[in-house]
Amino acid sequence: MTDTATAPKVIKGRTGDWEIVLGLEVHAQVASVSKLFSGAAVGFGAGPNQQVSLVDAAMPGMLPVLNRFCVEQAVKTGLGLKAQINLKSRFDRKNYFYPDLPQGYQISQFDQPIVGEGVVTVERDDGTTFDVRIERLHLEQDAGKSLHDQDPNFTYVDLNRAGTALMEIVSRPDMRSPEEAAAYVKKLRTILVYLGTCDGDMEKGNLRADVNVSVCRPGDYEKYRATGSFSHLGTRCEIKNVNSYRYIQQAIEYEARRQIEILEDGGKIDQETRLFDPNKLETRSMRSKEEAHDYRYFPDPDLLPLVLDPAWVKEIEETLPELPDAKKARLQSQYGLSAYDAGVLIIESDRADYFEAAAKGRDAKLVANWVTNELLSKLSSGGHEIAASPLPSSDIAQLVELIENGTISSKIAKEVFEHMWAGEGRPAEIVEKRGLVQINDTGAIEAAIDKLIAANPDKAEAVKEKPQAIGWFVGQVMKETGGKANPATVNELLRNKLGL
């Protein structure tokens, strides 16, 4: 399995092939109990305007005070993205009018962000990987929320979210298919959750993506990578605030085809911001894309430049947990797992912990199989992650132990697992209660074989000519013993008796 730099999705058009180019701006809400520049609480589910300080409401004369904890989370995230930490950065005002933005500007970071270039290694579904370059990460405030559905005549404004800290993580246009874009967000989310800097809850909008989509002809993207010049790429459109892996992919599919159709009709793409409608599965124009100068960015005069002590950054670095890539490499080397199995286990650190607890002293590859195949598929069919598993890791360990010491076959183990899942008890109890112990007694197996050969002399004769036909005998013996005969023993004895 070789890793490829890019795997572009090719779309056949009337005038030839097209490729997709994707860059993402991900907004991740900082997992902080208070806001970026005020002491007001951050939380989901409070009544309207119950978490608003005078700063968030932009009362005249109020001054923002930077939340040190949020800065620490941004630094931590930067380190997790293997990115440059800028010891000096600055906050700027990004001016625009929204009814739910009482300041009339958003405090963000413009040309001096707290985090510079980094890289994220992303796993594709087939286990291959590719790198996405990170351009920057900056800190900024979120806006409030306009509520249009509370009254037939009025729009209400809820400022609970106003001033909440966001980390905007901007990637280079290094994704080439809808699947790669979704895989990137998945990986980014995994890193953030490992770090604890964002809870990754996409349903609540705590992690959401703006997707930049453009199309180009085969070969053009390589020219862009060789020269760094965007002139080789098509004009992009930005799809705002997409908050699920599925929507990200659907929005890209639609948007790429829309652009190709326009270009093939001889039109040109307007650079604009678009919204994805998940009901109609289409994007539609929201506003023509502003250029940076339209926002009239300028340094916020209420805030001093942000200067970090290198010793503090080092201190933060030393507290970083084992990150997904390191964990994956360790699971592969320590337990001999495949890149695929290790990749599945590291998606949630709870999965890896569960696996490691179960694998202690057991056949680790076998444990990985049980966790990634049987357990995770049962859990995911109920929409659960491993933290909600009704089966403790010690149950999987015991099941594997029963296979390892020959008490049950792998086939019977699947049956035992179903009973475990149904809540019938621990594996050893189930095996005993249901009489599922594997028959290793050669005498009993031999008796079954003799009976079978005596009843089917023609088949026993035929198998000598056609040895693969032994499968029929194996099947019959297993049936006779209720699936409990040790398959290896059955095979060996049959070969002897049939003279193979």
CB atoms within 10 A of CB 295: 17
325, 121 Cβ separation under 8 angstroms: yes
Q: How far is the CB of 186 from Mn ion (least distance, A)?
A: 21
Work out the burial of residue 136: count CB atoms within 10 Å of its CB; fewer than 13 is exposed, 13-18 middle, 19 or more buried.
buried
Q: How far is the CB of 87 from Mn ion (least distance, A)?
A: 23
Q: How far is the CB of 140 from Mn ion (least distance, A)?
A: 5
Length of the chain: 500
- When the beta carbons of 90 and 258 are compared against Mn ion, the nearer one is 90
- Nearest residue to Mn ion, using CB? 168
Q: How far is the CB of 168 from Mn ion (least distance, A)?
A: 4
Query: Which tokens belong to 124?
Result: 């594709």
Q: How far is the CB of 24 from Mn ion (least distance, A)?
A: 12
- When the beta carbons of 25 and 353 are compared against Mn ion, the nearer one is 25
Q: How far is the CB of 27 from Mn ion (least distance, A)?
A: 6
Strand 92-95 relative to strand 145-147, pairing:
unpaired
- When the beta carbons of 107 and 181 are compared against Mn ion, the nearer one is 107
Number of H helices, E strands in the chain: 17, 16
Max CA distance (Å), the chain: 101
The reply to whether 100 sits near Mn ion by the rule CB under 5 A is no
- When the beta carbons of 184 and 417 are compared against Mn ion, the nearer one is 184
Rounded CA-CA distance 261/282 in Å is 14
Rounded CA-CA distance 368/81 in Å is 28
- When the beta carbons of 181 and 391 are compared against Mn ion, the nearer one is 181
* Stretch 167-206 residues interacting with Mn ion (CB under 5 A): 168
Strand 272-277 relative to strand 207-216, pairing:
unpaired
- When the beta carbons of 168 and 415 are compared against Mn ion, the nearer one is 168
- When the beta carbons of 76 and 138 are compared against Mn ion, the nearer one is 138
Binding residues for Mn ion, rule CB under 5 A, total 1
Nearest to 190 by CA among 123, 117, 140, 118: 123
Strand 16-29 relative to strand 165-171, pairing:
antiparallel
- When the beta carbons of 168 and 272 are compared against Mn ion, the nearer one is 168
Q: How far is the CB of 165 from Mn ion (least distance, A)?
A: 12
Q: How far is the CB of 170 from Mn ion (least distance, A)?
A: 9
DSSP H or E run through 158? strand 156-158
Rounded CA-CA distance 303/64 in Å is 7
C-alpha pair distances (Å), 349 with each of 1, 377, 420, 463:
25, 17, 24, 52
- When the beta carbons of 135 and 168 are compared against Mn ion, the nearer one is 168
Q: How far is the CB of 67 from Mn ion (least distance, A)?
A: 18
Nearest to 20 by CA among 194, 187, 233: 233
Rounded CA-CA distance 430/417 in Å is 9
Mark 155-174 with x for binding to Mn ion (rule: CB under 5 A) and - for no binding: -------------x------
Q: Which residues contact Mn ion by CB under 5 A?
A: 168
